[in-house]
Amino acid sequence: MQRIATEQDFEWIAAIQGECALPLWKPNSTSWVLGREAFAIWQMVGDECELLSVAVEQAKRGKGLAKRLMEYCQKKIAGQGVKSFFLEVRENNIAAISLYRKIGYKKIAERKGYYANGENAIIMKLVL
Ligand SMILES: CC(C)(COP(=O)(O)OP(=O)(O)OC[C@H]1O[C@@H](n2cnc3c(N)ncnc32)[C@H](O)[C@@H]1OP(=O)(O)O)[C@@H](O)C(=O)NCCC(=O)NCCS
């Protein structure tokens, strides 16, 4: 069941972010969780929305949770008048890029050597 993230979720979300070596984004009013297994943290910028972080507990991956949660969030956010969604992803993160493509995101740009290890960042966009 999807719901808005609360302070009680901060600890397990931070633990998953740590395990995945993701930046430690703190959930905000535009963050949702699915059980205690998946979270998505977004940032609204005018009539656009950026995905800051999405992750699923390792043992629960490959069951459609991220897809379900992201589509749910996007529908909720679109209800607030937002039509464009953006995200940035490491070019070697095949699972994440496949997920984003599956739900309709398209690559719009690339940032060469964006990450500390020299990896490129792929910028993707979805217009609902
Ligand atoms: C990326 C991540 C969120 C995907 O979560 P998930 O719940 O396993 O994804 P889903 O089961 O919803 O998969 C949806 C689609 O994504 C693609 N996908 C997911 N995992 C994949 C993998 N390991 N390899 C290839 N494609 C994959 C598939 O197209 C899948 O659709 P299908 O099952 O119908 O083929 C998860 O792997 C994760 O938490 N990774 C670590 C954190 C991370 O890298 N986050 C993104 C950067 S912020």
**Whether the predicted pLDDT of 23 surpasses 90:** no
Residue 80 belongs to domain with CATH number: 3.40.630.30
Q: Pairing between strand 84-90 and 38-45?
A: unpaired
Looking at ligand 1, which residue's alpha carbon is closest to its atom 5? 66
**Interval 11-35 mean pLDDT:** 92
Average pLDDT along the chain: 95
Q: What is the pLDDT of residue 124?
A: 98
Query: Of all atoms in ligand 1, which is nearest to the CA of residue 61?
Result: 8
Q: Ligand 1 pocket: which of 57, 72, 99 to mutate (most atoms <8 Å of CB)?
A: 99
Count: domains in the chain = 1
Ligand 1 site: residues with CB under 6 angstroms? 20, 22, 53-56, 61-67, 89, 93-96, 98-99, 102
Angle between helices 65-78 and 94-102 (to 10 degrees): 50
Q: Residue 34 belongs to what domain range?
A: 2-127
CA distance 58 to 44: 28
pLDDT digits (tens, 9 = 90+) for 30-46: 999 999 999 999 999 88
